[in-house]
């Protein structure tokens, strides 16, 4: 479901670099709350360990965790993909690993965006090898028709057109993560899509 929210102009400080709003802040908040309710139901007997993938999932993780009414635990890992600034090669380097043991845990990976799916594919194999009781994914955004790797995503916030986006945690060159909504990026830095 694509949400092209109209009438949500980007803030003045970022307007020069942004195109259309893809998902506005209010729509994001409503959907994150809905995902939280669904996760609360699905994991009612087995509260999950939420594994956030830094840095892109920082805002999503923070809002999602607060919308789940269960005693969840939270951990983070940081990965960096080899490739250009804006497209991944699928070779992933673990920059920060998890602090907790995954053995017999119900693990829910919280990811910002799935593009080619290569990063997630790598993470699944990496985390799956540590013996979790279950391993599922909650991705805020899924790019339409872009996946080079088949993924089964238990929870998806929004399916969006295949274009480079920023905001709500997503960046280009570390900027624009603090936008309340998700916008297409039309700024000066080259975007290799």
Chain centroid to CA 23: how far?
14
Of the pair 58, 165, the CB lying nearest ligand IMP is at: 165
What distances in angstroms separate CA 77 from CA 16, 52, 62, 99, one per listed residue? Answer: 32, 6, 14, 9
Q: CA neighbours within 13 Å on the CB side: how many for 75? A: 17
Q: Counting contacts by CB under 6 A, is residue 116 touching ligand IMP? A: yes
Considering only 23, 58, 77, 119, the residue that binds ligand IMP (CB under 6 A) is 119
Q: Which range of residues in 28-36, 44-52, 129-137, 163-171 is near ligand IMP by CB under 6 A?
A: 163-171
Q: Which residues are known to be catalytic?
A: 115
The alpha-helical segments, DSSP class H, found in the chain are 25-42, 58-67, 118-128
164 binds ligand IMP (CB under 6 A): yes
Query: Binding residue for ligand IMP (CB under 6 A) from 22, 50, 109, 118?
Result: 118
49-54/73-83 β-pairing: parallel
Which residue in 10, 117, 157, 181 binds ligand IMP (CB under 6 A)? 117
**Quick check: 24 binds ligand IMP (CB under 6 A)?**
no
User: Rounded CA gap, 138 and 46, in Å?
Assistant: 16
- Name the residue nearer to ligand IMP (CB basis): 74 or 149: 149
């Amino acid at each position: 479901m694509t949400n092209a929210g109209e009438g949500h102009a980007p803030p003045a400080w970022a307007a020069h670099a942004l195109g259309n709003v893809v998902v506005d802040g209010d729509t994001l908040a409503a959907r994150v709350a809905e995902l939280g309710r669904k996760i609360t139901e699905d994991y009612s007997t087995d509260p999950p360990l939420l594994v956030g993938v830094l840095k892109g999932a920082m805002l999503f993780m923070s809002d999602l965790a607060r919308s789940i009414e269960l005693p969840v635990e939270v951990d983070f890992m940081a990965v960096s993909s080899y490739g250009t600034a804006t497209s991944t090669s699928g070779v992933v380097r673990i920059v920060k690993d998890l602090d907790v043991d995954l053995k017999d845990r119900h693990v829910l990976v919280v990811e910002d965006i799935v593009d080619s799916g290569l990063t997630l594919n790598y993470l699944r194999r990496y985390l799956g090898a540590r013996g979790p009781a279950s391993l599922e994914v909650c991705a805020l955004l899924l790019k339409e028709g872009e996946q080079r790797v088949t993924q089964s995503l238990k929870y998806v916030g929004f399916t969006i057109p295949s274009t480079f986006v920023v905001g709500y945690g997503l960046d280009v060159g570390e900027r624009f993560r603090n936008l309340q909504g998700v916008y297409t990026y039309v700024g000066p830095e080259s975007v290799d899509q």
